[in-house]
Amino acid sequence: MQKLLLKLRMLFRRGRAGDQLQDELQFHMDQQVAENIAAGMSHAEARRAALRTFGNPAALREQARDTWSWQWLELLLRDLRFGIRRLGRTPAFSALAILVMALGIGANVALFTVVHSVLLKPLPFKNQDQLVRLYEANSKGAFQDNVLAGGTFASWQSQAKSFDQMALKKGIVYNVSGAGGQLPEVVYAQTVTWNFFPMLGVEATQGRVFLPSDDRVGVNATVVLSGGLWKRRYGGDPGIVGKTILLDARPYLVIGVLPDWLNYPDAKVQLWTPIYHERSPVVMAMHTAHNLDAIGRLKPGVTIRQATAELNSIQRQIRQQFPDGPVNDAANIRPILDGDVYQLKTGLYAMFAATGCLLLIACLNIANLLVARAATRRRETAVRTALGGSRARLICEQVTESLVLCCAGGVIGLLLAESAVRWLIHARHDIPRADSIHVDGMVIVFTLGVMVICGLLVGLIPALSSNDKHILTTLQESSRSYSGGHAGLRLRRGLLGLQVGLTVVLLTSAGLLLKTYTRLRAVDIGSATHDVLTMEINLPRGSYRTPEQIVSFYERLSDRVRQLPGVQGATVATILPGEGHKRDDVFSIREHPPLPKGQVLDASTFFVDPNYFNTLQIPLLQGRLFQPDERLDHTPGVIVNQTFVSQFFKGENPLGKHLLSDPDGQMEPGGPGLEIVGVTADARESVSDDPFPTIYFPFYSGQERSGTLAVRTAQTPSSLAIPVQQAIASIDPDLAVSNVLTMDQILDYSTLSASFDATLLFAFAVISLLLAAVGLFGVLSYIIAQRTTEIGIRIALGAQREQVMRLMLGDGLRPAIVGLVVGLIASAGAARLIQSMLYGTPPVDPGVYVLVSATLLAVAVLACTVPAWRASRVDPMQALRME
């Protein structure tokens, strides 16, 4: 402790300590002089003798100072001063280098922030490594991440021994209707089992969370509010617990408020209700209705592998009990965080790798420029070495200089990253956990690490390239104007080749993703998409109890909307094309022989009203469309799509055949079935998936209370949003709509990540191409400057200027071509890693590879032509006179 104090004192009062040392030594000296005089010497003689025994006072002072252990700091400060001064002497170079590093580091820090916050940062729950997400799976590997059926969950919960707890959650929307003049509002909510909160270790800040007695059928409805909703809608009312609020026009008792920090599974969740109270007990007991998210807490010491094995064996038995329905035969477990973000992993890591490449290219480029500078300082270096400067000191100086560059770049980069991250959150609202993305301590540490690594890399390459073994040669060499030593040049060519290689990898990856994106956007999904306005409507259970009420509402809605000026068609359906795969059900065909035991047919389930196909311009191929008065109860007809026919009725006429399907558990088994009355063209569920066999059921059967309204218009669709909402309010003023979007927006949204990845990677690739071009230009200019004399001699001896130009061009292009070949090989490997992000594009796509090679060569030739041309213009007389 005292030692430390002493050291610190020495650090901060070095100046005074230096004076004191001087005094101390002077005192010693004077004593010696005095003694010498006492021994009979003259004053001058005594002084000389004293000095003789004393030695070199400066060296002595230095040696004493050495023991203060702050020597390194003084050296560092000195190097720092030198470094900054040297950078200041070439402000353009320094500014450019700092800018390049800032871009490189900024991009990396931004991506790291996202990767760290989204993929790596643990959820804020105690022992979160025991928390897992549970899925049903197919033992043949057809799919691994299927959501759970209620009956399956019950079996797992009662039989599995690997888990402390298992809980369910299921996203849902509620109409929170206005009490006392408040506007109605659609809120995003979760229904959960009562043990959801205890399992995560979350407690209410007011009131309580659910008890087992709340989480069952027939008890009073209860709700727990998020901290956000409580503050926003209820003004932080301290007496909220015990009050009743209306959800879907039914009363719910508020029993608690949750802490603000709770953002699992999503920060958008506004309120929570108990799942067994909300959902029908029949559905919750079925093994075939897959629609619940299950999470679990493993017992301490149980691994995911063990737990999966146990669930697998339970699920196999369930499958044996139900060999017919869509019941899975295996299970899959992921860490809880993985369950939310695994789809993002490849994309984010690919982007992160791309920024890494970009930074490496930036470092190589600056190292390359510094090598050139080191070469111009060879004479200085040699002189210093000859005078006894140690190599370590010289390297230290060089590294300090590059560290200054990288630190300046890093600080600016961190600021850039901060705004980049903000832009990214805005641009990618589909990223889960987006609210947790921010620059934190870990990110700062990462930035510091990157700065230091870059500084060392950038500094060590040129420092080690200046070899001091041949001081004499260098001293002689640099007296003449030719030959810069070949080691440095080889190194620069190598760096350049590497840089070009990395650029090629980025270019091809960007090319593949761009092609994927254009392929996706070129897909015709098979329905009208322009000028279509959509909005979701969710009829509250409380006020729309019977199918008749539901149907009458939607019929009146369609009529009103159709009468609005500019409307060309309006329809209501459970799903629209391009919205993604939402639901499928099993069926069988009455006219076909029974399937082997354990096999089922499966098709997507759409409920559509009679105007669906006309409004969305999906052509009818055979038969007829639904009639306006068609209801499931009296005309049991369905429509199927073309894929359905080609898959299940090869070479047969599907019209008049009957499907035994049970989308709502309302048909008796063995009944007459539903007659196929029409066949329409395919409309894709999502742009990236092939059309799926689909059965269209009449929406006017009244079983579905939620639907999406689609309105095709003659004018800008968004201009109709207000009139349509007014039409809805005129029928039911307490009804709120959600997700008012145009169909083009829905499609944009589904290709958002593809467009985002492609654009970002393309930007990175262009930047690195620019850097590579600058590198090529710099290296060739340098080579030519070094060889001016040689070129002069060649021309004087009769070489043609074209020959000289070709020679120089070849010299410059060689590293580019080597880099291109290496880069193309590496690209093939990189493309395989991002294969899952590609659509309609093979990883080794000849078109992309050829285009990239051509672009790169064109840029390389362009970058080399100017210096090569300059070389061919060399005036031999002048070149030789420079000697």
Partner 1 sequence: MGKPSDLVQGTLDLLILKTLSIEERHGWAIAKRIQQMSGEILQVQQGSLYPALHRLEQQGWIKAKWAESETGRQAKFYSLTAAGRKQLEAETANWARLSEAINLVVREA
CA-to-CA separations, 295 to 234, 279, 317, 332, 334, in angstroms, rounded: 31, 18, 21, 12, 9
Which of 44/59 has CB closer to partner 1? 59
Task: Kindly state the smallest distance separating residue 43's Cβ from partner 1, in Å.
Answer: 17
Considering only 55, 281, 449, 840, the residue that binds partner 1 (CB under 8 A) is 55
Q: How far apart are CA 145 and CA 135, in angstroms?
A: 5
CB atoms within 10 A of CB 76: 14
Quick check: 731 and 560 in contact, CB under 8 A? yes
* 34 touches partner 1 (CB under 8 A): yes
Helix, strand, coil percentages for the chain (3-state, nearest 5): 55, 15, 30
Considering only 68, 613, 649, 697, the residue that binds partner 1 (CB under 8 A) is 68
For residue 607, give the nearest of 563, 548, 664 by alpha carbon: 664
Considering only 12, 19, 48, 66, the residue that binds partner 1 (CB under 8 A) is 66
Which of 69/376 has CB closer to partner 1? 69
- 3-state class of 660 per DSSP? strand
Task: Kindly state the smallest distance separating residue 60's Cβ from partner 1, in Å.
Answer: 5
Which pair of structure tokens corresponds to residue 106?
A: 């900024």
Which of 55/619 has CB closer to partner 1? 55
The span of 64-72, 204-212, 309-317, 468-476 binding partner 1 (CB under 8 A) equals 64-72
For residue 470, give the nearest of 489, 485, 450, 490 by alpha carbon: 485
Task: Kindly state the smallest distance separating residue 53's Cβ from partner 1, in Å.
Answer: 7
For residue 776, give the nearest of 371, 506, 500 by alpha carbon: 500
* 30 touches partner 1 (CB under 8 A): yes
Site for partner 1 in 10-29 (CB under 8 A): 10, 20-21, 23-25, 27-28
Task: Kindly state the smallest distance separating residue 414's Cβ from partner 1, in Å.
Answer: 38
* 37 touches partner 1 (CB under 8 A): no
* 63 touches partner 1 (CB under 8 A): yes
The DSSP annotation for 221-275 comes to PEEEE-HHHHHHHSTT-TT-TT-EEEETTEEEEEEEE--TT--SS-TT--EEEEH
Q: How far apart are CA 775 and CA 370, in angstroms?
A: 12
460 burial (CB, 10 Å; 0-12 / 13-18 / 19+) is middle
Which of 69/653 has CB closer to partner 1? 69
CB atoms within 10 A of CB 747: 21
The span of 65-73, 232-240, 424-432, 451-459 binding partner 1 (CB under 8 A) equals 65-73
Q: How far apart are CA 662 and CA 668, in angstroms?
A: 8
The span of 66-74, 108-116, 117-125, 128-136 binding partner 1 (CB under 8 A) equals 66-74
DSSP 117: I
Q: Which residues contact 806 (CB under 8 A, 6 or more apart)?
A: none
Which of 31/303 has CB closer to partner 1? 31
Considering only 2, 321, 479, 546, the residue that binds partner 1 (CB under 8 A) is 2
For residue 288, give the nearest of 144, 135, 151, 134 by alpha carbon: 151
Task: Kindly state the smallest distance separating residue 162's Cβ from partner 1, in Å.
Answer: 58
- 3-state class of 208 per DSSP? coil
Which pair of structure tokens corresponds to residue 687?
A: 């742009």
The span of 56-64, 228-236, 624-632, 805-813 binding partner 1 (CB under 8 A) equals 56-64
Which of 61/393 has CB closer to partner 1? 61
Task: Kindly state the smallest distance separating residue 27's Cβ from partner 1, in Å.
Answer: 5
Task: Kindly state the smallest distance separating residue 31's Cβ from partner 1, in Å.
Answer: 4
> 60 — phi, psi (to 5°)?
-60, -45
Which of 38/522 has CB closer to partner 1? 38
* 7 touches partner 1 (CB under 8 A): yes
The span of 31-39, 303-311, 461-469, 636-644 binding partner 1 (CB under 8 A) equals 31-39
Task: Kindly state the smallest distance separating residue 68's Cβ from partner 1, in Å.
Answer: 7
* 6 touches partner 1 (CB under 8 A): yes
* 59 touches partner 1 (CB under 8 A): yes
Task: Kindly state the smallest distance separating residue 35's Cβ from partner 1, in Å.
Answer: 9
* 60 touches partner 1 (CB under 8 A): yes
Which of 56/715 has CB closer to partner 1? 56
Task: Kindly state the smallest distance separating residue 6's Cβ from partner 1, in Å.
Answer: 7
Task: Kindly state the smallest distance separating residue 65's Cβ from partner 1, in Å.
Answer: 8
Which pair of structure tokens corresponds to residue 824?
A: 């193309």
DSSP 596: P
The span of 63-71, 543-551, 690-698, 721-729 binding partner 1 (CB under 8 A) equals 63-71
- 3-state class of 136 per DSSP? strand
* 32 touches partner 1 (CB under 8 A): yes
Which pair of structure tokens corresponds to residue 479?
A: 């007296």
Considering only 15, 39, 53, 798, the residue that binds partner 1 (CB under 8 A) is 53
* 64 touches partner 1 (CB under 8 A): yes
Considering only 15, 40, 58, 67, the residue that binds partner 1 (CB under 8 A) is 67
Task: Kindly state the smallest distance separating residue 77's Cβ from partner 1, in Å.
Answer: 20
The span of 38-46, 48-56, 153-161, 807-815 binding partner 1 (CB under 8 A) equals 48-56
Which of 32/516 has CB closer to partner 1? 32
CA-to-CA separations, 579 to 30, 128, 748, in angstroms, rounded: 95, 33, 11
For residue 276, give the nearest of 219, 226, 224 by alpha carbon: 219
Number of residues that bind partner 1 (CB under 8 A): 27
Quick check: 566 and 720 in contact, CB under 8 A? yes
Quick check: 196 and 131 in contact, CB under 8 A? no
**What angle, 0 to 180 degrees and rounded to 10, lies between the N-to-C axes of helices 91-114 and 441-465?**
140
Considering only 12, 16, 42, 69, the residue that binds partner 1 (CB under 8 A) is 69
Site residues for partner 1 per CB under 8 A: 2-3, 6-7, 10, 20-21, 23-25, 27-28, 30-32, 34, 53-55, 59-60, 63-64, 66-69
